[in-house]
Amino acid sequence: MARGGDNTMDKLVSLCKRRGFVFRNSDIYGGLEATYDYGPLGVELKNNVKQQWWRDVVTSRADVVGMDAAIFMNSKVWEASGHVQEFHDPLVDCKNCKARYREDHMDMDKPCPACGIKDWTEPRQFNLMLKTHYGPSEDSASIIYLRPETAQGIFVNFLNAQGTARMKLPFGIAQIGKAFRNEITTGNFLFRSREFEQMELEFFVKPDESAEWLDRWVQSRFDWYKSLGVTESKLRLRQHEGDELAHYAADCYDVEYEFPFGWSELEGIADRGTYDLDQHAEHSGKKLTWFDPQNNEHITPAVVESSAGVDRTVLTILADAYHEEEVKGEQRTVLRLHPKLAPTTAAIYPLVNRDGLPEIAANIFDDLKGDFAAFYDAGGSIGRRYRRQDEAGTPFGITVDSDTLEDETVTIRERDSMKQERVPMSQLHDYISDKIR
């Protein structure tokens, strides 16, 4: 089976637009670089990814609670976190055509890829935080930043969340939310955009237990991508080299995926030590500690962080699911999405628009829609309907035909194998539930 060749990304972008997964932002005005909109199918896929993460990381665990902090934060947060001083990328300009690049992504001995002339400025540090004015005055005192990560919203709420939820070490606080970075180099579709979403867990532990918890979370997070059906051989873990570590991290692993453009980071899992709580305690003057009743002492917990990108996960899932194959001399494009992530779980097709079949199909739709993402599709030939739903990644197709009138059975077509099976209408719920599990 073909994986789609070298131009898989182009084909994926085109399928995403054609089927309503992802659109270029402000498309009718020529777009806005590095910003994307999710369409009717894309928002379902993205919500399913977030719900799965929330279930697996938060609600199914007794030692993790969730929260939802605002995007705007007091500017002192970003001074304390180190982002004002440290959150830079090295920038170079082409003096001839004014194109800008990240110096660490370029061979400075070569000419500018845009104009072919080699005339670079000296590299300089460029802060990635986006600024805006908060409130009606536009003076320097009103400047605040759009958060470049959701993590700080958790650290500044450490005492609030721990106290109200009565959590004892080790415990985690998790959230999903938007983050913004004025990236110098964008591209590769959803991989690096200026507005994106993160799913972050800050897991607080006794400082001498952080290495052990880092190992556990690294394994657990790696396994999570496998549980979403991502091909195992395209996933790997990579430990950061010393000089690669972020300013706050003592140790860090990336989960990487082999995207069509090469191996790249999907998620980072880091031992941040006590850096964050120490910094906020120092800058705010508040004591950010936990009382350890066993040893009768106040300690500053260390943090193991799992920081995943929602959009990168969506891109991974789409790229991994994209397949092209030949069926009976015809080209078929299919998204082999895990049934628990697919935007539509079951499409219901009346074979013809007469003999009472549309009414029976509509009843099946009504019956399934409360428990599954069901879709009623009566438009066009059955072959065309199958192809549309294959591209949408719908795992089950339910066809209502004249035999249904006789024996109350329907045909279920399984997306990947294309095998067809007769199933009594009364057993559809159980059949689909079993397959999803």
Closest distance of CB 313 from ligand GAP, Å: 7
Q: CA 193, CA 312: separation in Å to the nearest integer? A: 10
Q: Pick the binder of ligand GAP from 19, 83, 147, 312 (CB under 6 A).
A: 312
Q: Pick the binder of ligand GAP from 244, 265, 325, 366 (CB under 6 A).
A: 265
User: How big is the site for ligand GAP, counted in residues (CB under 6 A)?
Assistant: 19
**Helices (DSSP H) in 295-342: which residue ranges?**
310-321
Q: Pick the binder of ligand GAP from 42, 268, 301, 395 (CB under 6 A).
A: 268
Instruction: Decide: is 338 part of the binding site for ligand GAP (CB under 6 A).
Output: no
Six-digit token pair at 369?
């829609």
Calculate the alpha carbon distances from 418 to 183, 253, 317, 332 in Å.
Answer: 43, 39, 21, 11
Tokens 């065309």 identify what position? 384
When the beta carbons of 275 and 386 are compared against ligand GAP, the nearer one is: 275
When the beta carbons of 154 and 360 are compared against ligand GAP, the nearer one is: 154
Q: What DSSP string runs through 26-37? A: TGGGT--TT-EE
Q: CA 234, CA 262: separation in Å to the nearest integer? A: 10
> In a 3-state reduction of DSSP, which class is residue 1?
coil
Q: CA 131, CA 301: separation in Å to the nearest integer? A: 31
> In a 3-state reduction of DSSP, which class is residue 287?
coil
Closest distance of CB 183 from ligand GAP, Å: 5
> In a 3-state reduction of DSSP, which class is residue 329?
coil
Q: CA 19, CA 1: separation in Å to the nearest integer? A: 22
When the beta carbons of 195 and 209 are compared against ligand GAP, the nearer one is: 195
Q: Judged by CB under 6 A, which stretch of 15-23, 93-101, 309-317, 425-433 contacts ligand GAP?
A: 309-317
Q: Pick the binder of ligand GAP from 170, 309, 339, 343 (CB under 6 A).
A: 309
Instruction: Decide: is 183 part of the binding site for ligand GAP (CB under 6 A).
Output: yes
Closest distance of CB 223 from ligand GAP, Å: 17
Q: Pick the binder of ligand GAP from 149, 320, 377, 390 (CB under 6 A).
A: 149
Closest distance of CB 14 from ligand GAP, Å: 21
| Contacts of range 296-300, beta carbons closer than 8 Å, 24 or more positions apart | 299/206, 299/207, 300/207, 300/274
Closest distance of CB 170 from ligand GAP, Å: 19
Interaction site with ligand GAP (CB under 6 A): 149, 151, 181, 183, 192-193, 196, 198, 200, 265-268, 305, 307-309, 311-312
